[in-house]
């Protein structure tokens, strides 16, 4: 369940993660998929895994001709920007009338290529877990008690080998160092703040940043106690300051929260603009950082004791563990 960064919410495995180390001064050959692709020539679509008309995105399962590895391709329409609107609203955009009635008209427009781009994310090679993650599935609301966490969730996490090497690569400045917005290097209370892959850095109203803590061993919200309040206060204060200085967005325009269950099991905090309808920002998954701080100030082991609700999808292995324990009913036929 953990890698996107959880097996059912996994991020693309970056080429940097898979590069082979130099040995005795000689660079070994890299696997073919470590090289960035320049087009979809020879891509063969197998099936559409999922699509989101609201977000104007589609998830496609396929392969590149001549190679056995499978791929997941995510295509997403990019939003308009103030800089490109003059081009879109010019003679270069061709219109075909769909309906004209009095003062109202509907048209199909074909804008020039420079304003008709799409955001492309590629998971290659994709594992079966990636295919599950991006496939359309039914969801179930789980209410996890303290005992459930100890007896179901934690043993499951310990049994599964969730790969988060990409997180350590960021923290060690091996990858993505050029994308860092802010860093506090303190090993106990420090963190790195950088853009989430969902944000293209073009529209501040779509702002989405992630604060990844330097301290190892804090898996999720469940691990937090009053001992970690200095860390949480530091992320809140310095994260807000960095965003205001870099993007001129005040704290009152930010949604700052943690996920439970998280996408990957190394504590991180989400910073999004209030105008952005970020995936996972609903009440069944997001916990506001200010609320988390207040709860821990009132009760040192609040998140150890509290029953936490979250959604799991049909093919999530953790859901199978909850069903095995009789905590979630079997799917009706």
- Contact present, 248 and 205 (Cβ < 8 Å): no
Separation between Cα atoms, residue 51 and residue 59, nearest integer Å: 6
Q: What are phi and psi of 212, to 5 degrees?
A: -105, 125
Residue 200: how many other CB atoms lie within 10 Å: 15
* pTM (predicted TM-score): 0.72
Residue whose C-alpha is closest to residue 191's, from 240, 263, 251: 240
| Those residues with Cβ within 8 angstroms of residue 27's Cβ, 6 or more apart along the chain or in another chain | 20
Residue 190: how many other CB atoms lie within 10 Å: 18
- Contact present, 234 and 242 (Cβ < 8 Å): no
Check residue 247 and give its pLDDT.
Answer: 96
Check residue 229 and give its pLDDT.
Answer: 98
Check residue 24 and give its pLDDT.
Answer: 40
DSSP string, 187-245: TTT-EEEEE-TT--SS-GGG-EEEEEES-SS--SGGG--GGGHHHHHHHHHHHHHHHHH
Check residue 298 and give its pLDDT.
Answer: 97
Separation between Cα atoms, residue 202 and residue 209, nearest integer Å: 13
Helices (H), the chain: 15-18, 85-88, 128-134, 146-148, 154-159, 165-171, 229-247, 289-298, 302-305, 317-324
The partner residues of 56 in beta bridges, in order of sequence, read none
Check residue 332 and give its pLDDT.
Answer: 59
* Catalytic choice (61, 130, 268, 270): 268
Check residue 319 and give its pLDDT.
Answer: 94
C-alpha distance from residue 164 to each of 87, 197, 273 (Å): 42, 16, 26
- Contact present, 94 and 87 (Cβ < 8 Å): no
**Can the peptide bond before residue 261 be classed as cis, meaning omega within 30 degrees of 0?**
yes
Separation between Cα atoms, residue 241 and residue 78, nearest integer Å: 28
268 is catalytic: yes
Residue whose C-alpha is closest to residue 170's, from 10, 289, 34, 14: 14
Check residue 192 and give its pLDDT.
Answer: 98
10-residue averages of pLDDT along the chain (333 residues): 37 35 48 87 94 87 94 88 86 92 91 86 88 86 97 92 86 94 97 91 90 96 98 98 97 97 95 91 95 98 97 90 92 60
- Buried-state track 32-53, b at ≥16 Cβ within 10 A, e below 16: ebbeeeeebeeeeeeeebbeee
Separation between Cα atoms, residue 166 and residue 10, nearest integer Å: 11
């Amino acid at each position: 369940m953990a890698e996107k960064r959880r097996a059912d919410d996994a991020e693309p495995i970056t080429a940097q993660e898979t590069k082979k180390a130099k040995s005795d001064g000689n660079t070994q050959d890299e696997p073919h998929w470590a090289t960035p692709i320049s087009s979809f020539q020879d891509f063969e679509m197998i099936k559409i895994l999922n699509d989101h008309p609201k977000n104007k995105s589609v998830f496609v399962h396929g392969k590149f001709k001549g190679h056995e590895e499978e791929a997941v391709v995510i295509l997403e329409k990019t939003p308009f920007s103030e800089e490109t609107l003059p081009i879109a609203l010019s003679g270069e955009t061709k219109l075909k009338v769909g309906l004209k009635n009095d003062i109202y008209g509907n048209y199909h427009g074909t804008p020039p290529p420079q304003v008709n781009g799409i955001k492309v994310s590629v998971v290659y090679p994709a594992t079966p877990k990636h295919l599950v993650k991006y496939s359309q599935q039914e969801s179930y609301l789980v209410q996890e008690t303290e005992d459930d966490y100890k007896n179901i969730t934690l043993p499951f996490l310990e049994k599964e080998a969730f790969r988060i090497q990409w997180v350590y690569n960021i923290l060690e400045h091996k990858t993505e160092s050029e994308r860092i917005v802010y860093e506090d290097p303190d090993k106990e209370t420090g963190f790195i703040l950088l853009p989430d892959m969902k944000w293209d850095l073009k529209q501040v109203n779509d702002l989405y940043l992630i604060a990844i803590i330097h301290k190892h061993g804090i898996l999720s919200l469940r691990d937090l106690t009053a001992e970690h309040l200095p860390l949480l206060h530091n992320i809140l204060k310095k994260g807000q300051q960095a965003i205001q200085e870099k993007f001129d967005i005040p704290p009152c325009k930010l949604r700052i929260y943690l996920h439970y269950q998280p996408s990957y099991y190394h504590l991180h905090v989400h910073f999004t603009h209030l105008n952005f309808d970020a995936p996972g920002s609903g009440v069944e998954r997001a916990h506001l950082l200010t609320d988390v701080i207040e709860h821990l100030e009132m009760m040192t082991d609040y998140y150890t004791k509290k029953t936490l609700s979250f959604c799991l999808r049909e093919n999530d292995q953790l859901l199978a563990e909850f069903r095995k324990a009789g905590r979630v009913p079997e799917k009706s036929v």
